[in-house]
Structure 1
Amino acid sequence: MPRPYVLLSAAVSLDGCLDDIGPERLLLSGPEDFDQVDEERAASDAILVGAGTLRADRPRLLVNSAERRARREEAGRPAYPLKVAVSGSGDLSPGDPFWTTGGERLLYTTDKGAEVAGARLGGSADVRALGPAVDWAALLDDLGARGVRRLMVEGGARVHTQLLQLGFADELRLAVAPLVVGEPDAPRLFGPGAYPGGPRGRMAVLSTQRLGDVVVVRYAPTVPGTTDAATAADRHWLRIACELAAGCPPSKTAFSVGAVIVGADGSELARGRSREGGDPVVHAEEAAFAKLAADDPRLAAATVYSSLEPCARRASRPRPCARLIVDAGVRRVVTAWREPDTFVPGADGIGLLAGAGVVVAEVPELAKEAVRPNRHLVPPRSGQE
């Protein structure tokens, strides 16, 4: 099984601090950011924290929104993501809210730590020993085997540092607060050491967003051996398109597709999915374009991310999605999966786009994600399974 997509999430001050050295927790974020974090949790299969965060913050790691929990259950998922803790010693308090509130709980520890945790926690958690030390590769492999496809990591600094240094982080979400802590001993997000890309390796900025007085910046870490920042951004937005596809109302007569339109500055302009709004024939790209003005000047420099190759022919609308893209003036499309012959034999949306001068990039490594909500419609060889 593949390892999960790893999202590191944290709130920091302008000088990179997670907290000050005072007795009370420094509040860096606000209600708008808290709500988006809750949305990120709802979209995740598991949420992970280290022992230091458990002891200092005593987090519950729950999805607070009843509506989001209901959506998870409607999709056949548990109301809460799996809660994962990592502790080398296993010396954790059984009274912490992490262990006493909702959701399944899993602890990764060492061989020696497993003995301690068994005595301390009793049956409040599934305890998995990773050997004489915490092996992050084995941990991620085990989560993947458990069906975890998206892992949200909420701390602490040591966990974030190790995952980034080892090259296991796929995305970094930072909520930057407009204040400077200024204390030399205050805890900082990342510690010293070697990081992928070296000291001159620059991360790709995926998006920026203002939430109250906090600015949320998303980064893709440097991939060793590559210098193309756009590749990281493409993978990020195409994953979102695939997640949208997974949330489509199921159908036996049409594919489930997600689409995101992204501006030249990396900001999301619009998104859509198949059968959005109860329309049984609306396509993902069509739904996304409907949320923008036809003469929006940002479209000329935008990129359309679609989990499935945009359609070249359709009976339900006058214009197929590939033609919508061309007519909108978009010059770049990124997709994960070519349309099979299930409904429209010989369809060639990529050919239509390329013939009109649109640059099309394919990311076949994400084809399985695009196919997953459509497995009932395609044979295994077409589904890249």
Structure 2
Amino acid sequence: MTSRPYVVLSAAMSVDGHLDDAGDRRLMLSNAEDFDRVDEVRAGADAILVGASTLRRDNPRLLVNSEQRRTARVARGLPAHPLKVTVTASGRIDPDLRFWRHGDRKLVLTVDGSLAEVRRKLDGLAEVVSVGPEFDWGRALDELGRRRVERLLVEGGGTVHTQLMEQDLADELHLVVAPLLVGQAGAPKFLGPAHYPGGPTARMRLVETRAIGDVVLLHYAPKQRQRAGGPDRDLDLHWMRRAIELAAKCPPSEGAYSVGAVIVGSDGTELSHGYSREADPHVHAEESALAKLPPGDPRLRTATIYTSLEPCSQRRSRPHPCARLILAAGLPRVVTAWREPSLFVDDCVGVEQLRAAGVTVVELPELAEEAESVNAHLFGTG
């Protein structure tokens, strides 16, 4: 079973909504400090995607520029640079662009009619795969999921952003607004006309605003549009579904639950994630997610951990159950979907232990069935 990547859209635009001007040379909308922020986001991605028109227009390399960040990726067992991906239906690909000459692996997603031509042009430079007779973003994301891409950073252009927003496939939007006015006909825009989910009155959740020199970062959660239940509840439901998706990645076991966990910072960004048996046959989801962060990470003091199953209060395979690990890390808030049944232990009291220690615990019973369904094989229903 594979799951689609978590999709982050990243763009910088002028105040009047343009990604560039109409000239031949690229307009620098951002500043050095923000370019470094983007480099950090790239370093945290498994793949970076741009449309073929952006390749032709900007001729980017799409690399992690910081040597320190590249070294950190390699230390985690990753390539120095994320997988580079471009998409094209027309097959208009230039093999002389810098995109193909720098970095590690490259992948082109195209359509049946252009497959042979693109493979001929890029022989030895990239892998080329078709996603059907017409370009299908669902199949494209499934293809990336099969390649173990968990976090996908999309850097343009406007057509790609528009299609992903229209199809409600973007999980995060990082939008930088520069104090410039382009005002030129024909200049590329961040988004074009489309039938966006919920229509013009559906308000996306604003997660963060940050001034970075003379530009402003706006961080939105596009799937969390205002509706019944309130935006805070929507945010919890969103991250819990992310945890349940991670639970589906667990190697199957007849003697343990499949659980996913996500740690989210106070600014709404994902700090870490994990799932059961991710690193070894005995590791728990919460334990795996916590182990990926430095001990004493100050962000944990204001973060939330989302776990698809109640944190364990006792275990045989490790000296410390997950409820105790959460308390030791100083996490103030826990969100869970499903109370642990009396299958492997008689009485799990993880929720009670956390609440007794002053941790805020939120339960989402409306997602309990989804969390349980990942473990259907344990109950004879899978």
Short-chain TM bin: 0.7 to 0.9
* Native 8 Å contact 1:46 1:151 kept in 2: yes
Aligned pairs (5 A) from 1:150-229: 150-222=151-223, 227=228, 228-229=230-231
Q: Among residues 244, 253, 267, which one is paired with 2:272 in the alignment?
A: 244
Aligned amino acid, residue 188 of structure 1: K
Q: Give TM-score, length-normalised by structure 1.
A: 0.73
Supply the AA of the counterpart residue of 1:233.
L
Residue 96 of structure 2 corresponds to which residue in structure 1? 95
- Provide the C-alpha distance between the structure 2 equivalents of 1:245 and 1:140, rounded to a whole number of angstroms: 20
- Is residue 246–residue 256 contact of structure 1 (8 Å, CA) maintained in 2? yes
CA shift, 1:230, in A, is 2.4
Corresponding position of 2:28: 27
Residue 130 of structure 1, CA deviation? 2.4
Q: Alignment length, in residue pairs? A: 340
| Residue number in structure 2 paired with 1:296 | none
Q: Which residue of 2 aligns with 1:13?
A: 14
Residue of structure 1 in register with 2:305 after alignment: 305
The Cα of 1:210 is off from its aligned counterpart by 2.4
Supply the distance in 1 between the matched residues of 2:313 and 2:189 (Cα, whole angstroms): 51
Quick one: structure 1 residues 181 and 344, their matched pair in 2 at CA, closer, same or farther if it must change by over 3 Å?
farther
One-letter amino acid of the counterpart of residue 19, structure 1: D
Indicate yes or no: 2:110 matched with 1:82: no
Residue ranges of structure 1 left out of the alignment (5+ in a row): 260-271, 280-286, 293-301, 372-379
TM-score (norm 2): 0.73
Greater shift, 305-314 or 52-61, is seen at 305-314
In the superposition, relative to structure 1, how do residues 130 and 290 fare at CA in structure 2: closer, same or farther (>3 Å)? closer
Percentage of identical aligned residues: 43
TM-superposed deviation, 1:49: 0.7
Conserved 8 A contact 1:47-1:82: yes
Conserved 8 A contact 1:245-1:274: no
Q: Any gaps of 5 or more consecutive residues in structure 2?
A: 241-260, 265-269
For residues 338 and 149 of structure 2, the distance between their equivalents in structure 1, rounded to whole angstroms, comes to: 22
Distance in 1, matches of 2:54 and 2:341, equals: 47
Residue 53 to residue 323, structure 1, CA distance change in 2 (3 Å): closer
Preserved contact between residue 312 and residue 322 of structure 1 (Cα < 8 Å): no
Deviation of 1:209 after TM superposition, in Å, equals 2.2
- The within-5 A match list for 1:325-344 is 333-335=334-336
Closer/same/farther in 2, CA of residues 347 and 109 from structure 1, 3 Å limit: same
Query: What do the CA deviations read for 1:113-163 (whole angstroms, capped 9, x no partner)?
Result: 112212322221111122332111111111111211111111100000001
- Aligned pairs for 1:337-352 (under 5 A) are 346-352=347-353
**How many Å separate the matches in 2 of 1:340 and 1:28?**
54
Tell me what 1:126 maps to.
Answer: 127
> Matched residues in 2 for 1:168 and 1:275: separation?
27
Query: How big is each residue's C-alpha offset from its partner over 1:225-244, in whole Å with a ceiling of 9 and x where there is no partner?
Result: 95443245334597454752
Cα deviation 1:252-296 (Å, max 9, x = unaligned): 99757489xxxxxxxxxxxx944865x6xxxxxxx356986xxxx
Contact 1:353/1:360, CA 8 A, preserved across alignment: no
Looking at structure 2, the residues matched to 366 and 289 of structure 1 have their Cα atoms a distance apart, in angstroms, of: 32
**Which region of structure 1 is more displaced relative to structure 2, 17-26 or 164-173?**
17-26
* Residue 261 of structure 2 corresponds to residue 233 of structure 1: no
Q: Amino acid of the residue matched to residue 304 of structure 1? A: T
